[in-house]
Amino acid sequence: MNISLKSLLQDCGPELNQYFDSPYFVNVEVGVQIALGLNHDIETELLQMIKVEGGTFNMGDKNLSTPQSKAVRTFSIGKYQVTQYLWYAVMGNNPSHFKGNGAAFRPVESVSWHDVQFFIKKLNQKTGKKYRLPTEKEWEFAAKGGNKSQGFEYAGSNDIDSVAWYRDNSDDKTHTVGQKLPNELGIYDMSGNVLEWCKDWYENKRTFKIVRGGSFRNDKQNTTSLRSTYFVDDNDKFFGFRLVLG
């Protein structure tokens, strides 16, 4: 059974109608259908992945005296940070701080590393795939543009305003994903909007996890080399994530 959300809600006012002509509308429709049990094809519209061909790159700040050369295998990574609609489609709830009218395609946030693991487990049960968080190495390789890297300071440009929501332009809140320019691989928001959980433990300490990127509250330090560590149970409004497959 497949019911058109647009046909059901077309008279519900401008708050909903604003989505009908946007490139995100099909995601809204599929997301609500999944949440209602009407359509289980989550991957068709809600999960858009970018293939990252494997290669070798210098990991860390480009100003390091001794660059750390790292090899990465081919994988696929989320074109966007996981949105509130995708989270709701899988989990049936929305933990985000910045939710409400117009927030459907903002990144889901206020999620801990453990929360994300539970989401991924349910997503994999629904799809039959093996989605996961990126390793720190995968995340940085993708953020820097992979084999197409042009050596930008931020993910896609040397001009942070063109590619990221950060302290000076965010109005202290998250924004709809994909509104800034993408990086060389076509991936959005890797230098801002929300911090992104990674798979890695920090120095094998079973308390802290690596977080990459920058948030709407960070300043211009949101470079492709920025890294942080947080407790696995931290779930502030700065924390989001994107998925990897492969």
Q: What is the DSSP string of the chain?
A: ----HHHHHTTS-HHHHTTTTSTTHHHHHHHHHHHTTS---HHHHT--EEEE--EEEEES-TT-SS-EEEEE--EEEESSPPBHHHHHHHHS----SS-STT-TTSBP-S--HHHHHHHHHHHHHHHSS-EEPPPHHHHHHHHTTGGG----SBTTBS-HHHH---TTTSTTS---TT-S---TTS---TTSSSEEEEEEEETTEEEEEEEES--TT--TT--TT-EEEEETT---TTEE---EE-
177 and 86 Cβ atoms separated by less than 8 Å: no
Which regions of the chain are under pLDDT 50?
1-40
Contact 19, 28 (CB under 8 A): yes
146 — alpha (psi -120 to 50), left (phi > 0) or beta?
left
Q: Is 111 inside any structural domain?
A: yes
CATH number at residue 52: 3.90.1580.10
**pTM recorded for the entire structure:** 0.83
| DSSP-assigned beta bridge partners for residue 58 | 69
What pLDDT score was predicted for residue 206? Answer: 77
Residue 11 forms part of a structural domain = no
* For helices 84-91 and 25-35, angle between their N-to-C axes, nearest 10 degrees: 20
Domain that holds residue 205: 47-245
Q: Assess if residue 1 is contained within a domain.
A: no
Kindly state whether residue 223 falls inside one of the protein's structural domains. yes
Is residue 29, in this structure, part of any structural domain at all? Answer: no
pLDDT at 63: 62
pLDDT at 13: 36
Total structural domains in the chain? 1
pLDDT at residue number 121: 97
Predicted pLDDT at 93: 93
In this structure, is residue 127 part of a structural domain?
yes
Whether 213 contacts 191, CB under 8 Å? yes
Pairwise CA distance, residues 199 & 56, whole Å: 20
> Is there a domain that residue 14 lies in?
no
Give residue 178's pLDDT: 94
Q: Within a domain: residue 41?
A: no
CA atoms within 13 A on the CB side of 12: 12
CA dihedral sign of residues 99, 103, 105, 106 = negative
